[in-house]
Structure 1
Amino acid sequence: MNRLERLSPCKVNLLLNILGRRPDGFHELETLFFPLPLHDRLVFETTASGSGIGLTCTHPELPTGPENLVYRAAQSFFAATGLPPAVRIHLEKNLPLAAGLGAGSANAAVTLDTLNEMHGRPLSTARLHELAAALGSDVPFFLQGRPALAFGRGERLESLPELPALKNLAVLLVHPGFGVSTAWAYRALADFPEALNGRPGRARQLAEALLGGTLAEAAPHFYNALEAPVLRKYPLLQWFQDFFREQGAVVALMSGSGSTTFALLPTLEAAEKARASLQAIYQAPLWSAIVTL
């Protein structure tokens, strides 16, 4: 029996710019993905030939059948290779659901890559990318571990080097205990024509600012079009941003379709102080994490 354990990371969108609705029903976008070392954990075990795909999960709200991206990624791998499905997968879910962090997409990408490794890498990198893109727009990003610009519906990637303006900063992330439906957020953009039909080039502009300048110089370029509908429906998320700026955050933004807010602060101590100040005020259940870059 072959057994592998893998950590499954997450991301924030330093920028998410929507460029209109496409004929295929998706939205054309440009975004700047930034990976973060906060993880779910996946355990893979090969089983007897033909025994199928078995998935278990520590989170009671997550389905363990074909509705789950991990299960679908495994189905996709075995269908593409022609190998008989024979794997048991356990997902230890540490990251919040419907949070805008791409954790489910990362789970799917890790599943594809790990199954490919366990079976001697029968699929090329390009083929894995095709399977990932079919599973979800964010999934291909997690097949590579670098910051990246993404275009199309998010599947066309352009990897970036390290971003000097972010070096030695602290990232404080807060999830308020409720999720936001990605599908709803994109539908709700119809009420915000300027956010739905953004100005092209903003993602590359931010990348260039982070590569060649300071965070203070880059700060005005951070942007998330989905904040228009989401912050209107959930004003608490706007309050989080305002609070973190009062605590010294240079940037505070919603990631993806939410509901996670992230703040960029100059030091670990500043991030810990901001979190403690928030916890002293906000009495409802709250998931938070701090990462140093």
Structure 2
Amino acid sequence: MPITLYPNAKVNLGLRILGERPDGYHDIDTVFLPVVGLHDVLTLHLLPGEPACTLEVSGGGDCGAVRDNLIVRAYEFLRPYTPPAVRVELHKQIPVGAGLGGGSSDGAFALAAIAQRCQRAVGTGLLAELALELGSDCPFFLLNRPALGQGRGERLRSVPVPIEGFWLLLVTPPVHVSTGWAFGLLEGEGSLIPVDEAIAKPLNEWQWLLLNDFQRPIARAIPQVAEVLERMATLAPSYYALSGSGPSVFGLFPRCPERPESLFSGCHVSVTRLAW
């Protein structure tokens, strides 16, 4: 019987870039927030025979070469533990290259599901190590609850976030942002207050305290992002920001915003209620 999973998106509540590490990655300080209402559809068909993985992708966006897909890489990481042969169908609904973690979510969900079915046991600690090797956002998707993320993103601690039940408006303009390029735009002008301190403040103070270090340089470099931010502000959200390195922008609302699509023509627009 096929196994169907729903790898969801994430947004970042605040994102501080603390500096480059000796290994070439960057230390970060952020709160990851799962967005379960926006998800891909991942179907695993377990097959007889020697370990092998094939991947079929449908839906929007260019996911790149199959061999580079994080689902395929996750399977290769698990080969020493004798996984079953599997045919994977991935239907993309999360915008690609949008700062929403779609590829990382797909990889982490596949990693966890296939690991459970390996002939050799894959413990929780090893699974977390493999997820980090897969990608910096992947360990979060194994937890998939609001969490403070530090280090590369693998040091996770659940945190209370007072916005469950709020509506999230997510807008992705039709541009692609390379994470490496985005890091090159940073100019040491980032936020100073730690994210866990900022998120503990009243919601009406978040806009000035809970900052994404990428937001100003990305908005300066990409006019479409600046325009989405400006239009989002006109809706008077409780809080709005860039997610990750962009280009996606999100706003939080106590009530469902009405007909936001009319304000963001040409963009991918989704509205979902936050729950975890």
TM-score (norm. length: structure 2): 0.92
Residues 83, 114 of structure 2: 8 Å contact kept: no
- The match for 2:123 is 124
Alignment pair present for 1:207 and 2:199: yes
Query: Is 1:290 aligned to residue 271 of structure 2?
Result: yes
TM-superposed CA distance for 1:21, in Å, is 1.4
In 1, the alpha carbon distance for the partners of 2:64 and 2:84 equals: 19
Q: Which SS does the other structure have where 1:91 is aligned?
A: strand
How do 1:167-186 and structure 2 match up within 5 A?
A: 167-186=164-183
What is the aligned partner in structure 1 of residue 215 from structure 2? Answer: 227
Shift of 1:121: 8.0
Q: Deviations over 1:15-50 (max 9, x none)?
A: 100111112211111111000111101011111221
- Counterpart of 1:240 (choices 211, 224, 228) is 228
Q: Give, in whole Å, the separation in 2 of the partners of 1:90 and 1:157.
A: 30
SS in 1 for 2:50: coil
- Distance in 2, matches of 1:64 and 1:120, equals 29
CA 1:61 to 1:276, structure 2 compared with 1: closer, same or farther past 3 Å? closer
Cα distance between partner residues in 1 of 2:240 and 2:230 = 8
Which AA in structure 1 matches 2:114?
A: L
Q: Pick closer, same or farther for the CA change 1:228–1:121 going to 2, 3 Å.
A: farther
CA distance in 1, matches of 2:100, 2:148: 16
Which range is displaced more, 216-225 or 109-118? 216-225
1:94-119 deviation per Cα after TM superposition (whole angstroms, max 9, x unaligned): 11100000011000110011112334
Corresponding residue of 2:103:
104
Q: Please list every run of 5 or more consecutive structure 2 residues that lacks an aligned counterpart in the other structure.
A: none
Q: 1:278 aligns to what?
A: 263
Give the drift of 1:276. Answer: 4.0
1: distance between equivalents of 2:120 and 2:3?
Answer: 14
2:77 alignment counterpart: 76
**Structure 2 CA distance for aligned equivalents of residues 124 and 10 of structure 1:** 25
Q: In 1, distance between residues paired with 2:83 and 2:140?
A: 27
Q: For this pair of structures, how many residues does the alignment match?
A: 272
Q: Which moved more, 1:124-133 or 1:50-59?
A: 50-59
What's the offset of the Cα at 1:180?
0.6
Aligned-partner SS, 2:205 = helix
Name the structure 2 match of 1:56: 56
Letter of the aligned partner of 1:278 in structure 2? Answer: L
Change (3 A) 1:193 1:227: same
Q: Quick check: 1:264 aligned with 2:275?
A: no
Structure 1 residue 240: deviation in Å?
A: 1.4
The answer as to whether partners of 1:8 and 1:107 remain within 8 angstroms in 2 is yes
Aligned partner letter, 1:41: V
Matches for 1:187-202 after TM superposition, within 5 Å = 187-189=184-186, 192-195=187-190, 199=192, 201-202=193-194
Q: Does the C-alpha gap of structure 1 residues 3 and 179 become closer, same or farther in structure 2, counting only changes over 3 Å?
A: same
Report if the CA contact (8 A) 2:199-2:210 is conserved: no
CA distance in 2, matches of 1:291, 1:183: 29
Q: Per residue, is there more helix in 1 or in 2?
A: 1
Q: Over the residues paired in the alignment, what is the CA RMSD in angstroms? A: 1.9
**Residues 117 and 229 of structure 1: CA distance in aligned 2, closer, same or farther (over 3 Å):** same
Question: What stretches of structure 1 of length at least 5 have no aligned partner?
Answer: none
Equivalent residue number for residue 27 of structure 1: 26
Aligned 8 A contact 1:241 1:263 in 2:
no
Give the Cα separation in 2 of the matches to 1:50 and 1:63. Answer: 26
Counterpart in the other structure of 1:3: 2
Tell me which moved more, 89-98 or 226-235.
226-235
**Superposition deviation, residue 85 in structure 1:** 5.5
